[in-house]
Structure 1
Amino acid sequence: MLLPEDAVAATALIEVVRISALPAGRSDPYPGEVAGHWADGEAAAALALMETLPPGEQHRCGFSPGWGIRAYDDTLGLALYEAAFCFRCHEVRMRGTAVTAALATQFFDADAPPAQELLALFRAVPRGRPTG
């Protein structure tokens, strides 16, 4: 999976979101409960894992993402970028000021070990508590 390089380098905190629906508008964030946070080395490790997601074929499910991330720099202002992952149709959609059109929609092999490891990381996030 390709991520916006400069924004990844600036990422200080990642919110892990349990997505509950699709956004109402193009510029609205994906709605859902913030399940937890990754910071410092944990954030870097998660992003490195995402970068190892192998490309995959699109599957038809209508895009119903269950998990997403919002990445912030050290000012914790607006999100640098967000990514919504659908492990059923093997699609990730990204958006934000750092996301180019080429990065906006990608397909990954959701059955590959790195994808299953990422899904396990999402599921293991302690709810609401920042982790380091």
Structure 2
Amino acid sequence: MQLPAEAVAATVLIEVVRISAIPAERGVPYPGRVVADWAGDEATEALTLIENLPGGEQHRCGFSPGWSIRAYEDSLDLALFEAAFCFRCHEVRLHGTAVPPALTTQFFGADATAAQALLARLRQAAV
């Protein structure tokens, strides 16, 4: 999976969000509860895991993401990007100040080892 490289390099904090609804329009943060903050090695490992998600085919479910991550730089002002993951239709939607249009919708192999490891991390964050 492709993430905006400059944003990944600038990321110092990731918020893990348990999504509670779909926003009314694209490009706004997904509503939900922030269940964890990842910084340092934990953030780097998560971003590496996400970048290693293999490409995949779209499956039809209507896009109902359960989790997102929001990446922030030092200022912790606006998110550089948010990535919302739907493990049913194997789709990731990205938005934010650092996301070029070509990266906004991607598909991943949700059954792959990297995807299952990411899902386990997300679930563990909510415990």
Query: TM-score scaled to structure 1, two decimals?
Result: 0.93
Question: 1:82-114 CA deviation, whole Å, 9 max, x = no partner?
Answer: 000000000000001110111000000000000
Partner amino acid for 2:83? A
Question: 1:53-99 CA deviation, whole Å, 9 max, x = no partner?
Answer: 00000000000000000000011101010000000000000001110
Would you say 1:55 and 2:55 are equivalent positions?
Answer: yes
Question: Cα RMSD between the aligned structures?
Answer: 1.0
Question: 1:18-56 CA deviation, whole Å, 9 max, x = no partner?
Answer: 001111233421000101110011000000000100000
Q: Provide the C-alpha distance between the structure 2 equivalents of 1:27 and 1:105, rounded to a whole number of angstroms.
A: 12
Map 1:1-132 to 2 at 5 A.
1-125=1-125
The 4+ residue runs of structure 1 with deviation greater than 6 A are none
**Partner-residue secondary structure (3-state), 1:68:** strand
Partner amino acid for 1:66? G
**Number of residue equivalences:** 127
**CA apart distance, 1:14:** 0.2
Alignment-derived partner of residue 130 in structure 1: none
Where does structure 2 lack aligned partners over 5 or more consecutive residues?
none
Q: Provide the C-alpha distance between the structure 2 equivalents of 1:77 and 1:7, rounded to a whole number of angstroms.
A: 14
Where does structure 1 lack aligned partners over 5 or more consecutive residues?
128-132
**Partner-residue secondary structure (3-state), 2:41:** helix
Q: Provide the C-alpha distance between the structure 1 equivalents of 2:85 and 2:65, rounded to a whole number of angstroms.
A: 5
Instruction: Name the % identity.
Output: 69
